[in-house]
Structure formats: C-alpha cells, structure tokens
C-alpha cells in the first residue's frame, strides 16, 4: 500500500544508496595502503535512481557501462582523482574519503527525516497521531 507513494520510495532509495556508498568509502579507507589500489565511488544518486527506474530514459546499454563492480545493486566506478598516485600506485585520499563519508551521513539523515515526516503526515491524515 505505502510502496506506491513516491516520496517514500524515493527516501528508501536514498537510504539504500547511502548505505551502499558508505560501503565503498569504507573499502577505500581500508585499502588506503594497498599498493596499486584505485579509489572507487558510486555514480550520483540521481543517475543511480533514474537507471533503476524502468520508465527512465537513462539505462545501461551494455555490461560495464557505468562501472565494473556492483555494491548493493549499484555499479561502482573507479574514482578519477585530480591528485597524483602515491609511489606504490595507490590514489586513495583519506581526506577525500572523510568528506565523502560526511556527505553520505548527511544524505542518509535526510532520507530518514523525509521518511519519518512522511509517515507522520500519513498518520495524521488517518487520525492516528504518534
């Protein structure tokens, strides 16, 4: 019944995306000293959300179109960083990963807030407050 309400679907998708992106950030941090490791990231939420929507115009046209790996159903792409790789070939920037982690937390909190507020409005509309 509530799965058809678009705002709930959108906030659930943003929370799922945030969890998947946090996994990628954690893997980058864990491999910060691994020789030859290339930092990974997910495409923007908008792109990931539209590609998961069957009615959307943006679709994967071939395998590996958006990346080579998958986390939580989302394609993971190599991160093209502006800086140089370290002498061992690793290009993970811990500062950059901390910024990404803060962004992920912010988006996850937004998703939870929207979901919670939407449920409060639905409860109020049917006469069942908290």
Question: What are the tens digits of pLDDT across the range 76-121?
Answer: 665 545 457 788 888 899 999 999 999 999 999 999 999 999 989 9
Q: What is the pLDDT of residues 34-80, one digit of tens each?
A: 998 999 999 888 887 877 654 434 445 555 544 444 555 556 665 54
Per-residue confidence at 130, pLDDT binned at 50, 70, 90? low
Q: Which residues pair with 66 in a beta bridge?
A: none
Q: For residues 81 and 50, give the distance between their C-alpha atoms in angstroms, rounded to a whole number.
A: 25
pTM value > 0.85: no
Residue boundaries of the structural domains of the chain: 2-125
Instruction: Give CA 124 to chain center in angstroms.
Output: 31
């Amino acid at each position: 019944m509530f799965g058809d309400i678009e705002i709930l679907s959108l906030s659930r998708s943003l929370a799922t995306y945030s969890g998947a992106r946090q996994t990628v950030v954690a893997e980058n941090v864990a491999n910060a000293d691994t020789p030859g490791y290339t930092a990974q990231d997910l495409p923007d939420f908008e792109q990931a959300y539209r590609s998961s929507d069957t009615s959307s115009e943006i679709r994967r046209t071939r395998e590996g179109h958006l990346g080579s790996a998958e986390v939580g159903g989302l394609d993971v792409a190599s991160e093209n960083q502006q800086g140089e790789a370290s002498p061992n070939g690793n290009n993970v920037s811990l500062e950059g990963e901390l910024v990404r982690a803060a962004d992920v937390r912010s988006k996850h909190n937004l998703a939870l807030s929207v979901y919670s507020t939407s449920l409060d409005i639905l409860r109020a509309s049917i006469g069942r407050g908290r």
